Amino acid sequence: MFSSQSGSELTEAFVVEPMFLTRPDGEQEPYLAEEVPTEENGGVSEDGLTVTYTLREGVTWSDGEPLTAEDLAFTVDVAQDPDGAALPDPEYASVESTEVVDEQTLEVTMSDPQPGYLQLFQQILPEHEFDSTAVQADDPQARMPLGTGPFVLADWASGDQITLERNEAYWRDPELPRLDGINVKIVPEAQTALSGFINGDYDTVFFFTAGDLAEIGEAQADGAQAEIATVPDMVGSVEWLWLNHSDGGDPDTPHPVLGDPAVREAIDRGIDREAIIDDVLKGYGTLSGSLVYSGIGASELEPPGHDPDAARRVLEEAGWELGSDGVREKGGERASLRFQTISGDQTRALYQQIIQQDMKDIGIELNIENVPSNRLFDSRDEGGLLASGDFDIAMSRDGLFPDPAIWLEVFASRTIPSEENPAGFSYSHWSNEEYDELEQTAATTIDPEERVEAVREADRIFTEERVAIPIYASAAGYAWNPTLTNVETDYWDGIWTPASSAEWALSAE
């Protein structure tokens, strides 16, 4: 049995399978596909507008029907049907036409080059299971999807438990999967799931933070049974300080304190990241200081060191004088800021206090005002503090993507929340034309070297401007009961891939 907060994540680990799997370095390898299409092998046209996808032969759905190119074409049609419930996807939105060449081959023509063309077909839909391309979220086939993966959904009790059974028609090997089934317990509270794992109630949990791994490590010393594995070359998530560059969400009106580059630099230099990693995370984290950590175009920039003397000097040279109460001020503006994160996160609260003291030591006052998750992350229309620009500094954790173009978009001007763009997610409310141009280059060019150059230059601007301040990077980490064997972490999604879960077995112990 394993624990999940919603259960929906399990489909990509057990039930459905992608065309390609991503390695920790961002490189792709074929899975349901016969090969990775490239310009060199003729799978991508010279202008980047036509991509040919070829399916591996012998792949079947769990009902025994063959997977064909018709299913790929149907998946595109569903993604583009305005009457359906599919979420907008930029890769599918760029598809102009599809042509089924034969049972195993689909030719896709794009309106413009899409460097993320390998992100298509992460989930494929079986055409023979649906009556229409206007698939709705409450359709039975959408809730209990048919897949090509090692397990099939047998039962889904909303908010409680999901039961998976062995796919007897699994195409890879008659001996796979090795387990007869898996029970997924839905546990909404992350701390409850962690405690349950430590107590032996669950064989694993869908997601562990660096703080969780530290707690599990301490429990091991007290006799708890657990295997812990990290993937050093792959960053699973990054802890950030979102800095509000605006006054009230308007990027053209600088924040009265954080609008000063000297203040942002002082904050960056003043944080003792090593204390957080060593004292709170027990080593389950690495120093970080830039935007792109792993995958394509991974940063070559060195993380900043802890230098409070330099932080004080930067502030003094910029005219921020120390007041009698220990808080700096300039032009009548005190360096007193709200410091917010999600309430109830015990680990984060510990290093929030470390950062608060670090800032006090250089003359910046941080007032901790934590709030519920929805209050922080709701959309602009719903009054979310980040989207509305109604905050100073906020701390959150974000997962990374193998393709950095997706992450660069988070800080692009076009994604700043506004009245015209209420669903925007660029919470720093920062705008930079050069960065925007580089972000677009990374999002549209298919030339690998040009993409890497654009990504790294955008990363340099982000880092120099201190658009947001990374605190630490957490290597992708997993933990499981030692009775669960054959657990592999070879791919971007770690143990949560069908390539891994099909091999899982239980020892006799």
Is the pLDDT score of 247 beyond 70? yes
Between CA 289 and CA 470 the distance in angstroms is 5
pLDDT on residue 226: 83
pLDDT on residue 328: 98
pLDDT band at 294 (very low <50, low <70, confident <90, very high): low
Is the pLDDT score of 323 beyond 60? yes
φ and ψ of 128, to 5 deg: -70, -10
Cα maximum dimension of the chain: 78
pLDDT on residue 224: 77
502 vs 156, 175, 179, 403, CA distance in Å? 20, 9, 8, 26
Is the pLDDT score of 122 beyond 60? yes
Is the pLDDT score of 29 beyond 70? yes
Say which residue, 97 or 188, is predicted with more confidence: 97
Is the pLDDT score of 244 beyond 60? yes
Is the pLDDT score of 410 beyond 70? yes
What mean pLDDT is predicted for residues 422-433? Answer: 93
pLDDT on residue 185: 87
pLDDT band at 213 (very low <50, low <70, confident <90, very high): confident
What mean pLDDT is predicted for residues 191-215? Answer: 84
Is the pLDDT score of 459 beyond 60? yes
pLDDT on residue 285: 81
Is the pLDDT score of 353 beyond 60? yes
Say which residue, 139 or 352, is predicted with more confidence: 352
Q: What is the pTM of this model?
A: 0.77
pLDDT on residue 371: 94
Is the pLDDT score of 341 beyond 60? yes
223 vs 198, 271, 284, CA distance in Å? 10, 35, 20
pLDDT > 90 fraction of the chain, expressed in percent and rounded: 54
pLDDT on residue 400: 63
Is the pLDDT score of 128 beyond 80? yes
Is the pLDDT score of 234 beyond 60? no
170 vs 34, 66, 100, 490, CA distance in Å? 17, 11, 25, 21
Residue 192: which H helix or E strand, with range? helix 190-198
Whether the upstream peptide bond of residue 177 has omega within 30° of 0, thus cis, is yes
Query: Minimum mean pLDDT among 35-49, 232-246, 321-335: which range?
Result: 232-246
The encoded tokens of residue 370 equal 């934590």
Is the pLDDT score of 289 beyond 70? yes
Degrees, nearest 5: CA angle 339-341-347: 110
pLDDT band at 232 (very low <50, low <70, confident <90, very high): low
Report the chain's mean pLDDT, rounded to a whole number. 88
Residue 438: CB partners within 8 Å, gap ≥ 6?
A: 408, 454, 455, 457, 458, 461
Where along the chain do its domains lie?
233-475
pLDDT on residue 147: 94
Pick the CATH number of 233-475 from 3.90.1570.10, 3.10.105.10, 3.30.70.2740, 3.20.20.70: 3.10.105.10
Other residues' Cβ atoms within 10 Å of the Cβ of residue 127? 17
Residue 7: CB partners within 8 Å, gap ≥ 6?
A: 156, 162, 184, 186
DSSP letter for each residue of 96-145: EEEEEEETTEEEEEESS--TTGGGTTSS---GGG-S-S---TT-HHHHS-
Is the pLDDT score of 183 beyond 80? yes
Is the pLDDT score of 209 beyond 90? no
Parallel/antiparallel/unpaired status of strands 336-340 and 95-102: unpaired
135 vs 80, 87, 286, CA distance in Å? 11, 11, 43
Between CA 266 and CA 362 the distance in angstroms is 8
Tens of pLDDT, residues 54-63: 999 999 999 9
Residue 204: CB partners within 8 Å, gap ≥ 6?
A: 2, 3, 197, 478, 479, 480, 481, 484, 495
Residue 168: CB partners within 8 Å, gap ≥ 6?
A: none
**Helix/strand/coil (H/E/C) assignment for every residue in 55-90:** ECCCCECCCCCECCHHHHHHHHHHHHCCCCCCCCCH
